[in-house]
């Protein structure tokens, strides 16, 4: 993994968009019922043009955004872990030889985030909801953010790259 100036610029851009976007939509970015629309950026790691830059960008952006979280340090740690695991999974799945791998990648990322943030943060650490509610409330938000918005974003960006070649 050899990061170049272009890669560092992408990390800065992605992390800035993630952090600022998350804070700007704060009422729906944090809490039991959340739709962190900026999680759609996790799917950028699916595209080879972004790859590691997207992994680092969404991870760093999450650290910054979660400084504003009402859940404090546990959200900084677990939220960051969730984004790191999800974006690495997406990048790995992008290399597999299976059909509908963008959908699989988006669903896997959504489940991972719901497990780590929903169950780990909201249920185990803060006990603000039952295990089922903690998981499903985060999972539904991730379905909206990653599966719906994320796939639309990735298809649009892929088309731009195709048109520029």
**How confident is the model over 126-160, as pLDDT tens digits?**
999 999 999 999 999 999 999 999 999 999 999 98
Residue 165 has pLDDT above 70, yes or no: no
pLDDT digits (tens, 9 = 90+) for 75-98: 999 999 999 999 999 999 999 999
Write the CA distances from 48 to 10, 31, 42, 164, integer angstroms: 13, 33, 13, 15
How many CB atoms are closer than 10 A to CB 114?
23
d(CA 116, CA 4): 31
DSSP summary character for residue 146: I
Domain tally for the chain? Answer: 1
Q: Which domain holds residue 122?
A: 5-164
Name the band, by pLDDT with cuts 50, 70 and 90, for residue 161. confident
**Interacting residues of 90 by C-beta distance below 8 A, sequence separation 6+:** 42, 43, 45, 46, 105, 106, 108, 109
Predicted local distance difference test score (pLDDT) of residue 109: 98
Tell whether pTM > 0.85.
yes
């Amino acid at each position: 993994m050899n990061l170049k100036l272009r890669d560092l610029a992408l990390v800065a851009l992605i992390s800035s968009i993630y952090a600022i976007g998350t804070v700007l939509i704060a009422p729906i970015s944090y809490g039991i019922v959340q739709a962190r629309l900026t999680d759609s950026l996790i799917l950028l790691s699916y595209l080879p043009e972004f790859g590691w830059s997207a992994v680092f960008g969404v991870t760093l952006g999450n650290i910054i955004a979660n400084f504003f979280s009402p859940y404090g340090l546990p959200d900084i740690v677990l939220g960051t872990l969730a984004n790191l695991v999800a974006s690495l999974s997406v990048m790995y799945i992008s290399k597999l030889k299976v059909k509908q791998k963008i959908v699989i990648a988006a669903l896997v990322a959504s489940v991972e985030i719901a497990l780590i943030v929903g169950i780990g943060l909201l249920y185990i650490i803060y006990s603000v909801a039952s295990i089922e509610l903690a998981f499903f409330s985060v999972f539904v938000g991730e379905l909206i953010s990653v599966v719906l918005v994320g796939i639309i974003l990735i298809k649009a960006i892929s088309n731009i790259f195709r048109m520029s070649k």
